[in-house]
Every structure is written in C-alpha cells, then in structure tokens.
Structure 1
C-alpha cells in the first residue's frame, strides 16, 4: 500500500538556489542608477537644508514673543516686531479662502459632474490649467486696475481678491480630480436608491472626495500665504495694526522684502525672524495637507 501511495505522489521539484551576482550587468546597472538617484537627492537637499539652517540660526535668535506681537520699528530704533504683518497675512488669506473655496468647489462640481464634456467645461478646465502657471504679479496688476484704482486706496480687500485669483485654479482642479476619483458604482447605487442629483452631490460625492478637496485647499492656502508680488500692488504695507479692511495692510512677505534691503541691523534681524515665521506657517499647512490627504472621512 505504501508503494502505491509513493507512486501516486508527485515527484519532488528541486528549485535552483538563487544567489545575487554582484557582477551581473543588471546588478551593476541597478547599483549605478540607485547611487545616481541618491546623489541627486543629496545634491538637491543641500540648498534646502542650508536655507533652513540659516533661518533657524539667524531667525531663531530673534523670534520671541515681542517679535510676533510688537509693531515694526523705525529706522534707528531697536526692538519691535511684525505682529501686524502676521495679522494682515492671516486676514488676507482668510478673505482669499472665503472667495476661492466656494467658487472653486462649485466650479469643480460643474466640471466633473454636471456638464463635464460641454464646451464651457472644456474651456474652463483649459483656462484653469493655464492660470496655474500665471505670473502672480499679473494677478496683482489685474486687481489693482479693478479695485485699487476704483476705490482709490490700497486695502486688505484688494490683497485678498488678488490671492483668491491665484488660489482659484488650484482649488478648482484639485476638487475636480477628487470628485472624479469617487467610484461610479457609489453614484449609481445612490441613484438606484432614488436620490436626486443634488442629493448625490452633497451626500455622496462631496463627503467621499473631501480629503482630496481639503488637500488642494490647504496647498492653495499655503501658496497664497507666501505670495508677495500681488500684495505690492493691492495691499501695499502699513506699520500699524489693521483697523479696517479698506486700508493699506501689512503682510509678512512684504515686510521681509522691505526690511531685508534696509541698512539697519535690527530690521535685518527682524526680516530673518519673519522669514522663519512664514516658513513655519507654510510648513504647517503643507503637513496638514499631507495628514488630511491620507485621512478617510
């Protein structure tokens, strides 16, 4: 009986012993390409880490509570800070977000759900992609001609609108792509249950695509926070805290631009500290975008 069982069992297959040959052409090619990529990564990281190191050393020495709360000093004064610039930056980015986020999300709903193949959608999508590479200073010139000349004053409103022009394409394209990633079977299931198109949009598509939408929004906010060129034409600058939106408003980027060219050591130190504060702010928004992008709602 045992002989019969042995005859019925399949023959044993002896697998060849696999060993990595370091001198094989593929192995050498893989090693060289890996080394080249690592070299390029290190080379590209040198400027980044050198800038971060300089910001921490030069700006960290001056970044304290007085610097983030006090007003900018005059030429020969010591001390002071850039508290008004932090407030102005947050206010103008808030105005830009309040304008660009609703408009961008609604535009994305039209582009991805309502009429994705229409001529208007195709043209709008093309223009949005073009605007992502739009020089930021031209957005400032555009809003200067529309708002600043009309109202005859630089203002936080004008600065917020200029930043909204720059944020809108990013928000629209990111939200459209996030909505396109929602599986079609989820939409079909909702329609099969008797939901209207409005209910499908607000109950299924938007909640499911929310991580991608928020990622695009946060990245747009981070980009707007570091803009300086459009604010030169729209918000200008102020050495005081903002009393109302319809007046010239300080911002971190313009303060850095102004103070870095001054011949006074105190202002140069404040420019370094403001640069560090701005980098930390932008870094916070980028990390938040990564966290939100990986989360599930």
Structure 2
C-alpha cells in the first residue's frame, strides 16, 4: 500500500513539475512574441518618423502639389482627404446607426442573423472590390468624382458602425428599456431617446474606429476619385487625397516626391493615432463617470 502511495505521490510531483515547465515555456513564448511585435512596430514608426518628419513644414502643409522636379506641398491632398472622409462619414454614420438599431431591436431573428452575417462578411471583403463595385455603379455613369470615392469609403465604414452600434445597444441594461416602456413611451422613443444615448460611448467609439479605417484606404479611391493635381472643391469632379499621393509618389525617381510620400504617410498615421486616442480617452471617461454614478 505504501509503495502505491509513493508511486502516486511521485506521479503527482512529476505532473506538477511538467505543468510548471509548460507554463514557464508558454510565458516565455508569449513575451518573446510580444517583443518581436513591438520591435517591428517600433521600427516601422521610427522609420516613418525619421523619413516623414524631415518633409513636414509650413510650405508642405500650405502649398499645392507641383509637377515632378519642382518643390510642392500637400495642401490639396490634405483637404481632399478631409472632404472625402467627411462626406463618407456623413453618409455612413446615420445609415450605420440605423442599421445597428435594427439589428439590436429586430424581432425577426432569422432576418437579423442574415444581415449580421452580411455585415461581418463586408468587413472582411478587400477594399478594392468595393472600389470596383462603386466604379460599375457610379463612375461608369457619372465619371470619376470625389462623391464616388466618398461612397466607396462609406460602404467600408458602414458595417463597422452598424456592428459596434448593435453591440453597444445590447449592453444597455434591460431595466432601462422597461423603465421607458413603464412610462408609456413608444418603442421608437425608448430606443432613440433612452437606449441610444445610454450607448453613445460605444457608438462614438465605433464611428471613430470606422473613420480610422477609411482614412488610409487607397484601392477604392483609385477606381473612384482618381486624383487631381489641381485645386478642386467640386465633389462631382476628380479630387486628390493623401493615400493616392502616397501611391503615386512612392515609386517615383524624384527625391522630392518620395519625401512628400513619407510626409503624407506620417500625416495619416498622426490622424489615425489621434482618433484612437480620442476614442480611448472618451471611453475611459465614460466608464469612470458611469462607475461614479
């Protein structure tokens, strides 16, 4: 009997030591993987800052692009990106919020599941396919334009906003719904005047993340807005943008254009970083405020 107990005790010690070794190995593997990822990210950001910051100046920000060989800036691509991303946001935000509300409140589970599947599939579709779709629908009928580019970007942002809005609404406590119904309010007022304001933290975060995604998209704009080396406010005409400038200038033999491409990439990175910081700060403040209540 004592030999069996010693054998079981020895097997137990062996299993514990083997589990300890596996735990240490996996911990080391996780830290090594994290270190590799951080090194890659830091090297990319360092290279971007070194090459892009040298071209960041007042002249670059407030002068238009120039022909190859001549000094030029990025004013028209910057404003073109702001116009197209802003227009895409105006299109995608209302539709995305309404879609998220429908997914969260739809009583037909099969219909909502089908729409949810389509939205998830759209988030994984390559952006160039969206550009080709808008090219067939709009560009072939009305020509290249900033409006077509904004529509392509809006289609990319739409499923992100819809799904984040749905998740944010699903996190609203059921008691808030019941309180609204108990006061005699109709369902649409409960959803839009009670539940949606309660979920605004998640909704705004989803909107900012969607803007961050579409801000650097290049492929859809190649088939839609095309680009423009001149100044243009007309959204129904071709318009320049920072992603298109990066695409056109990066392969150039002109050092001025290459430096401008690095600077444009740095500007987009700064813009996306600022949006992500705003989203995180807003969510943290909302969480602290909710906890204090």
The answer on 1:58 being equivalent to 2:48 is no
Cα distance in 2 for residues equivalent to 1:280 and 1:65: 17
* Residue in 2 that maps onto 1:282: 272
Distance 1:292 1:224 in 2: 21
How far did 1:204 drift?
Answer: 1.5
Q: CA deviation at 1:187?
A: 0.8
Say yes or no: does 1:41 pair with 2:31. Answer: no
> How is 1:244-283 mapped onto 2 (pairs within 5 angstroms)?
244-283=234-273
For 1:231 and 1:167, locate their aligned partners in 2 and report how far apart those are by CA, in whole Å: 14
Stretch moving more, 200-209 or 254-263:
200-209
Q: Deviations over 1:7-52 (max 9, x none)?
A: xxxxxxxxxxxxxxxx955554433322221110011122211110
- CA distance in 1 between counterparts of 2:107 and 2:32 reads 44
CA distance in 1 between partners of 2:277 and 2:268 (Å): 14
User: 1:259 Cα deviation (Å)?
Assistant: 0.4
Alpha-carbon offset, residue 56 of structure 1:
0.8
**Mapped partners of 2:193, 2:162: distance in 1:** 20
Q: Gaps (5+ residues) in structure 1?
A: 1-22
In structure 2, distance between residues paired with 1:225 and 1:116: 35
TM-score normalised to the size of structure 1? 0.88
Q: Is the 8 A contact 1:110 1:116 kept in 2?
A: no
Question: 1:57-76 residue pairs with structure 2 within 5 A?
Answer: 57-76=50-69
1:153-200, Cα deviation, whole Å (9 max, x unpaired) = 211100000001111110100100100000111111221122221221
Q: Write out the 4+ residue segments of structure 1 that deviate beyond 6 Å after TM superposition.
A: none
Separation in 2, partners of 1:33, 1:116: 45
Matched, 1:197 2:191: no
Within a 5 Å distance, the mapping from 1:132-147 to structure 2 comes to: 132-147=123-138
Say whether residues 1:89 and 2:81 are aligned partners. Answer: yes
Alignment of 1:25-36 (within 5 A): 26-36=19-29
> What's the offset of the Cα at 1:242?
1.7
In structure 1, C-alpha distance between the alignment counterparts of 2:270 and 2:169, rounded to whole Å: 31
Instruction: List alignment gaps of at least 5 residues for structure 2.
Output: 1-15
Choose between structure 1 and 2: higher helix proportion.
2
Alignment equivalent of 2:148, drawn from 134, 152, 158: 158
- CA-based RMSD: 1.5
* Secondary structure of 1:66's aligned partner: helix
Aligned to 2:93: 101
Q: Which has the larger radius of gyration?
A: 1
- Number of residues of Structure 1 aligned to a counterpart in Structure 2: 272
